[in-house]
Amino acid sequence: MFLALWYYFRGYVMIKVNGFAAERFMNMLSYRGVYLWDVGTDGAGVKIKVPLGSMDIVSMCAEKTGCRLEIRGYGGLPGKLRRFQGRQVLTAGILLFAIGLYFLSSFIWVIRVEGNERVAATDILSYCQELGLKPAVWKRGVNPEEITKEILIQFPDISWVSVGIKGTDVTIKIAETIEKTEVVDKETPCDVVAAMDGVILKITAERGTPQVKAGDVVKKGDVLISSQVLIGLEGEEQHTEYVAAEGTVTAKVWQRLSGELPLTYDEKVYTGETKANQILSFWGKDADFIRPSLEDKDADVEIIFQKDLALGDYKVPISLKKEQYNIYTLEKKSRTVEEAKAELAETLREKTKQSLSQYGTIEKIDVHYEEYTDCVLAKGQAELIERIEEKQKAEKGRDAIDGTDGENDTNG
């Protein structure tokens, strides 16, 4: 079996022997150390496979035994390779392929980050780019140890880094430090001020001195809870301390609303007819040679497919794009005054709802409409209940930290 495989690589000849002394011929060959295999009868003769290099002995033996020798064909790998002889372009192609493969494999094409949870992979990748580790960079020029060191210095949240180059891929494995709990700053003095104008409904101060009470009208920027706290009983000696004021302040606020809706309008009616357009982009510029004819019809463009060509992670500035034109016709439509009013009321309410914070609620919405021949104008006011507190660093904060009393304080 292995001999047959060996002679497949070395090449063999398929011969046919005719004559009365075929057996003698075979004996003579095997006696002379020629390996014969796949012997079979073929009509009156015998067909045999013999190694390529032993043809001299074979023809000599055939002559001696008086057998008629006939070469039926050549087999094995050399025979197969002989078919490619004289095909220079093919040889050059194979060579170029091998060189190209070697050349391309000496660059880095893909960079992966593993193990990150809090640190964004894009941050690490962009920092690596600064260090010279980016797609399409020569592999020999990358120093993993130095990048490891630099990443550890740059990102304090990373405790361990390993940069491994495997083939054309770089894998940056990282381990993050244990997350620090968020510290609420209770040290730096700050005031709670109004974020918008309104009427106070309720004020709850956790720290600091409330400056307003329910029913008070406040303007944006007014101090609601002051950072100054008077320490000491009344009548005795008192002194001021500064704290980080905190608390919630609920107020009634008003918001102006306005809207306009024409009575006649154009509506896009899609005909269902679509046209596709393929675009090849180079460096962001579209080379759109074949553009479908729209025959002066109106159409919306919708990008249904976009593919940026890339070698690994290295972006080649060529992209394929497929657009679809959805053809529509404009139809004139009209609505009644009542419909317009209802629609306006709905859109205004929607708009107000979106401007609310998570604690806010709509108390009521007053709208009055002005009717014109071609449109309806809506003007109104929304009454909202909102939390209006906002922290602002107290101007006197530094004095307090410095240890001086804020007695020349002019804060109102």
Partner 1 sequence: MDLRRDVSEALDLPKEITLDLPLISLTGREEITVENHKGILTYGEESIRIGTKAGTLCIRGQGLGLKQLTGEMLVIRGRLIALEFLT
Q: Report the interface residues with partner 1, using CB under 8 A.
A: 3-4, 22-23, 26-27, 29-33, 35-41, 46
Positive/negative CA dihedral, 311, 315, 318, 324:
positive
- The full DSSP string for 318-382 is EEEEEEEEEEEEEEEEE--HHHHHHHHHHHHHHHHHHH--TT-EEEEEEEEEEE-SSEEEEEEEE
The nearest distance, CB 63 to partner 1, in angstroms, is 19
The nearest distance, CB 313 to partner 1, in angstroms, is 56
| Of 135, 117, 115, the residue nearest 125 (C-alpha) | 135
Rounded distance, CA 367 to CA 340, Å? 13
The nearest distance, CB 26 to partner 1, in angstroms, is 6
The nearest distance, CB 108 to partner 1, in angstroms, is 53
User: Residue 23 or 405: which CB sits closer to partner 1?
Assistant: 23
Name the one residue in this structure whose structure tokens are 């002989």: 82
User: Residue 21 or 229: which CB sits closer to partner 1?
Assistant: 21
Q: In what order do the strands lie in the sheet with 110-114?
A: 110-114, 169-176, 158-166
Is 24 in a helix, a strand, or coil?
Answer: helix
User: Residue 37 or 160: which CB sits closer to partner 1?
Assistant: 37
User: Residue 37 or 138: which CB sits closer to partner 1?
Assistant: 37
User: Residue 19 or 79: which CB sits closer to partner 1?
Assistant: 19
User: Residue 41 or 408: which CB sits closer to partner 1?
Assistant: 41
User: Residue 43 or 284: which CB sits closer to partner 1?
Assistant: 43
User: Based on the number of CB atoms within 10 Å of its own CB, is 362 exposed (0-12), middle (13-18) or buried (19 or more)?
Assistant: middle
The 8-class DSSP code of residue 178 comes to P
The nearest distance, CB 45 to partner 1, in angstroms, is 11
| Of 237, 163, 224, 165, the residue nearest 194 (C-alpha) | 224
User: Residue 27 or 91: which CB sits closer to partner 1?
Assistant: 27
The nearest distance, CB 27 to partner 1, in angstroms, is 4
The nearest distance, CB 1 to partner 1, in angstroms, is 9
The nearest distance, CB 73 to partner 1, in angstroms, is 18
Angle, CA 180 vertex, CA 178 and CA 185 arms, to 5°: 175
- 332 in Cβ contact with 266 (< 8 Å): yes
The pairing of strands 169-176 and 158-166 is antiparallel
Q: How many CB atoms lie within 10 A of CB 6?
A: 12
- 379 in Cβ contact with 257 (< 8 Å): yes
The nearest distance, CB 68 to partner 1, in angstroms, is 16
User: Residue 4 or 301: which CB sits closer to partner 1?
Assistant: 4
Interacting residues of 355 by C-beta distance below 8 A, sequence separation 6+: 255
